[in-house]
Structure 1
Amino acid sequence: MFPIYLLEDNETQRVEYKSIIKNIIMIKEYDMQLVVATGDLHELMNNIVNSKEGLFFLDMEIGEQTQAGLNLADEIRQQLPFAQIVFITTHEELSFLTLERRIAPLDYILKEQGLDDIKQKIVKDIDATQTILKTETVQHKDILGYKIGTRFFSVPINDVIMLSTNKERPGSIRLTAKNKVADFPGNLNSFENKYSQFFRCDKSSLINIDYVDSYDYGRLQELSEHLLEPHLFPEDL
């Protein structure tokens, strides 16, 4: 899931923003997750998942540190170059510093605008991030994207072990990855042409060559023939 992070040291505001973020994810069925909502800089940094991306909603002022969120954004940009950063702050005068430091925030939300306007902007920023995520998944060959119903998903190509046709559901592909198994509409040809990491070991399977030590087509055919006999199992061969 695509990770979202919230830094806000005002507990009342943090609860409000947290509720807005969770509701939009649930209502629009985005493949996203609010990983942490905190007022502590170190807690947020310690909870960043192993990913090149993320959406960060950062309060600019934490405690007596007027530029704490800005300094944190510098660290985030270094660690996660593709992160989307949104500042939620009372300090309009600090907006020029985001340009000076080349942070390139997705948005700059002023708290004085009121909760309704803040909510609209948070929703807009999450929608924009979802659009960016779709575009990057299509463009970047290191991410495999697929769609189930109205929901859009992605998985690092290095985590994909195999893609195979689902014989019980024609026109459906089964994804087998390190931490998930999923069925979705599609055909193997489109993936074989796009991703050089996949090897067509038979007409119904693509395997990630990074997970292959050796390949014996004759043995595979022999195994397939034996498996057609209902009384035999792989461990019997």
Structure 2
Amino acid sequence: MLKVYICEDSKDQRTRFESDLTDILKEEFSDMISLGLSSGNPDDILDAIRADNTLGIFFLDIDLSARINGIQLASEIRKIQPRCYIIFVTTHSEMSYMTFSYKVEAMDFIIKDNAADVKHRVRQCLLNCYHLSNHFVESVNKNYMVKIGSCVKAVPYDDILFFEASENARKVILKAKNSQFEFTGKLKDIERELGDKFYRCHRSFLVNRENVINVDKENSEVVLDGGIVCPMSVRLGKGLY
């Protein structure tokens, strides 16, 4: 499920946009996309998405009568939801270049001067968002998603060798066949999330069962694909042999 958020400071325009959007959702996306919040206050939008992590589609006016404009709001939204979809709906076409300087990665920039065209473009944006989100779900089923700063990287499960508790507090190292990442997390949470595909062979290591080549009981080591070696505790290692 996706949620739509609208931030438009003109009450009349916001009401009209809500009406058009509601019609589109009922006709084509009733079980897939819902209206989360419509407001003229950007802080209302930010508060709402901090309380609800459902992936959002944001239709934002640029010239808001508030402490921040729509582009600045988009930048704040992107920090909370790196994967969200942002669409600007505005009369200020000359401000489109600012979206690049703020690095908000807008999906579309819709000009308000033609109501029929706006409705058509909104429908197309919703359709694109739905297809993109479905593709992401399929990707999640095949990949482990690592959040590093404001970026999300997809690492195929088949490529992961192990997770290791980092020397840096509250950090975990993901070691893959051709890459390595350090990110914020806890090994016990990852172990719980991934289930039986991965095994805790040591208090600091969680190995991918599919990539275990050999279990060396004599030296208390697990040999992984590519000859990578992980330590193995006597007690925990019993689950691998």
Structures share fold, TM-score greater than 0.5:
yes
Q: In structure 2, which of residues 50, 53, 69 is the aligned counterpart of residue 51 of structure 1?
A: 53
Alpha carbons of structure 1 residues 38 and 84: separation in structure 2 relative to 1, 3 Å:
same
Shift of 1:30: 3.8
Matched, 1:102 2:132: no
Contact 1:52/1:80, CA 8 A, preserved across alignment:
no
> Which residues in structure 2 correspond to 1:147-226 (within 5 Å)?
197=195
Structure 2 match to 1:71 = 72
Structure 2 match to 1:139 = 139
TM-score with structure 1 setting the length: 0.57
Shift of 1:53: 2.4
Identity across matched positions, percent: 25
Q: Which amino acid aligns with 1:111?
A: K
Structure 2 match to 1:24 = 24
CA RMSD of aligned residues (A): 2.3
Contact 1:52/1:81, CA 8 A, preserved across alignment:
no
Alpha carbons of structure 1 residues 64 and 32: separation in structure 2 relative to 1, 3 Å:
closer
Shift of 1:87: 0.4
1:43 alignment partner, SS class: helix
2:141 alignment partner, SS class: coil
Count of residues in correspondence between the two structures: 146
Structure 2: runs of 5+ lacking an equivalent:
144-192, 198-241
Q: Distance in 2 between matches of 1:63 and 1:16?
A: 19
Alpha carbons of structure 1 residues 33 and 142: separation in structure 2 relative to 1, 3 Å:
farther
Deviations 1:89-136 (A, max 9, x none): 111111111112211101001112x11111111111011101111111
Contact 1:6/1:38, CA 8 A, preserved across alignment:
yes
Matched, 1:89 2:94: no
Structure 2 match to 1:230 = none
Contact 2:58/2:85, CA 8 A, preserved across alignment:
yes
Contact 1:73/1:103, CA 8 A, preserved across alignment:
yes
Q: Distance in 2 between matches of 1:39 and 1:142?
A: 39
1:99 alignment partner, SS class: helix
Alpha carbons of structure 1 residues 88 and 196: separation in structure 2 relative to 1, 3 Å:
same
Answer 1 or 2: which has greater strand percent: 2
Contact 2:99/2:106, CA 8 A, preserved across alignment:
yes
Q: Distance in 2 between matches of 1:43 and 1:50?
A: 12
Moved over 4 A (4+): none
Q: Distance in 1 between matches of 2:2 and 2:66?
A: 31
